[in-house]
Amino acid sequence: MLPQTVSALTTAFGASPADGAPLFDFANAILEIFCDQPGMGPSFASLLDQLASLAAPLLNAPAAAGSDGEHLDVKGELLGHGYRLCALLPTALGAANSLHALVGLASHVLATCRTEGPHGVDSAVEFLAALVTKARSPLTPPPAREHLFAALTGAAGETLLSACITAAADPMPLPTITRLANLLAPLLHLPGWRDGAAADGRPAPMAMWAHAALAAIPEVDGVPDGRAKMRLLDALCASADAMPAIGRGGIVLEVVEALRAQLDAFARVCRRLPAA
């Protein structure tokens, strides 16, 4: 029954991706029904790959003047489906060929919220936060963890951190900005993000990425000034590990809250708002 249902879903979506956002409700319902059955990982990885492939031409197209934002809705729905897959069946997400593209899409949504608006931003933050948590959780099977790690390191990690910092400086709603802490707190200590810092005294990769991203934020009439940027850089570099408990996978809420306060303070400076 599942293969026929998936085939009908992808055929309908492929016929008109611009109108396909409601079909993701159907895809999510299928996932919730079948995710607990043995051996479903490859099927749902394939479904995600097909949906991402069919949506690619729409997602890669710039928003047209006067458009009603169908492609933005599809971005949010695709990332929302990725979030549910990560939460319910992370082994499927780890096996999906489209994982790297989805991380790139989520980073793009955050980085372009000034030009394209907040469409899909909440879905992007939710997807990325769930992905990082699963990547660091010892409860995630090792093969899946390795694939999740790979999608968040190297150039992809640099792009993602830059997108988060850009989003904090851009007109993203403040409640969403503070939720970036849920993503960044465990992300900042991902393997590969701090490699080499203690060994040879060089800055950790994440420190260099963050410095470059902050330096790229334009200063308009003195806002944000160098002190505000330096405070955020120091907070990111000094943030403790929010997931230090090997074997448990829990998150230290005090670390998340401390980082949330720093992100909120920086965002308020950029928006010329009073301190909270």
Query: Domain containing 201: what range?
Result: 154-276
Mean pLDDT score across all residues of the chain: 88
Residue 95 has pLDDT above 70, yes or no: yes
Confidence check: pLDDT of 276 > 50: yes
Q: Which whole number is the average pLDDT over 21-34?
A: 92
> Are residues 198 and 182 part of one domain?
yes
Do 173 and 148 sit in the same domain of this protein? no
pLDDT, residue 65, reads 38
pLDDT at 64: 44
The pLDDT of residue 34 is above 70:
yes
100 and 210, same domain (yes or no): no
My answer on whether 188 and 268 are in the same domain is yes
Residue where a domain terminates, one of 152, 173, 197:
152
Residue 72: what pLDDT? Answer: 63
Q: Which of 44-58, 65-79, 142-156, 200-214 has the lowest mean pLDDT?
A: 65-79
Q: Residues 192, 132: one domain?
A: no
Per-residue confidence (pLDDT) for residue 262, from 0 to 100: 96
Task: Tell whether 269 and 176 lie within a shared domain.
Answer: yes
Stretch 196-215: mean pLDDT: 82
pLDDT band at 50 (very low <50, low <70, confident <90, very high): very high
DSSP the chain: -HHHHHHHHHHHHHH-GGG-TTHHHHHHHHHHHHTTSTT-HHHHHHHHHHHHHHHHHHHHSPPPTT---HHHHHHHHHHHHHHHHHHH-HHHHHH-TTHHHHHHHHHHHHHTHHHH-STTHHHHHHHHHHHHHHHH-TTS-HHHHHHHHHTTSHHHHHHHHHHHHHHHHTT--HHHHHHHHHHHHHHTTSTTTSTTHHHHSPPPHHHHHHHHHHHTSPPBTTBS-HHHHHHHHHHHHHPPPS---TTT----HHHHHHHHHHHHHHHHHHTTPPP-
Q: What's the predicted TM-score (pTM) here?
A: 0.91
**Last residue in a domain, options 102, 134, 152:** 152
Both 169 and 242 in one domain: the answer is yes
Predicted local distance difference test score (pLDDT) of residue 196: 60
